[in-house]
Amino acid sequence: MADEALFLLLHSEMVAGLYRAAEQGEGENGRCTAKLEGMGFRVGQGLIERFTKDTARFKDELDIMKFICKDFWTTVFKKQIDNLRTNHQGIYVLQDNKFRLLTQMSAGKQYLEHAPKYLAFTCGLIRGGLSNLGIKSIVTAEVSSMPACKLFSEYSVI
């Protein structure tokens, strides 16, 4: 039962460590986001396997998305997604008004330019989770005022 503080610090150090290595010439900036997203993807796949071992089959896309917003988000971030919107054509917008990975950074616009680094892993997490549920997606994030964030998930069925 690993403590949440440990995960938060690990994530924070992963972001810092990757960017530090990039500055010292071991890779460029763009790669850092891709690496974080890739790590999130692997973790998302693993997590969803563990979570859905005993759950019933999902009825449809929306059902899956609700699972992500409620059960999945609660297990990972100790709260549910605050708002879920969709255009019913494969695009979902998840809003978290107090995103756990941003609450320590600032409240408002300070350090806004660093926020994307802290969302890359989570975007991968969602993409990985969906992938193991048979959904191919592209997940991006947008932060306009911390600690709130919006995650956009665009589906294409495998």
Partner 1 sequence: NSELFTLTYGALVTQLCKDYENDEDVNKQLDKMGYNIGVRLIEDFLARSSVGRCHDFRETADVIAKIAFKMYLGITPSITNWSPGGDEFSLILENNPLVDFVELPDNHSSLIYSNLLCGVLRGALEMVQMAVDVKFVQDTLKGDSVTEIRMKFIRRIEDNLPAGEE
Q: Which residues bind partner 1 (CB under 8 A)?
A: 1-7, 9-11, 13-14, 16-17, 21, 26-27, 35, 38-40, 42-43, 46-47, 50, 75-76, 121
Please report, in angstroms and rounded to a whole number, the separation of the first and last CA atoms in the chain.
34
The encoded tokens of residue 108 equal 């408002």
Least CB distance from residue 13 to partner 1, whole Å?
A: 5
Centre a 10 Å sphere on the Cβ of residue 60 and count the other Cβ atoms it contains.
8
46 vs 134, beta carbon nearer partner 1: 46
Residue type, 69: C
Between 32 and 61, CB nearer to partner 1: 32
Residue 32 C-beta: closest distance to partner 1, Å: 11
**Cβ at position 154, least distance to partner 1 in Å:** 23
* DSSP percent split of the chain into helix, strand, coil, nearest 5: 55, 20, 30
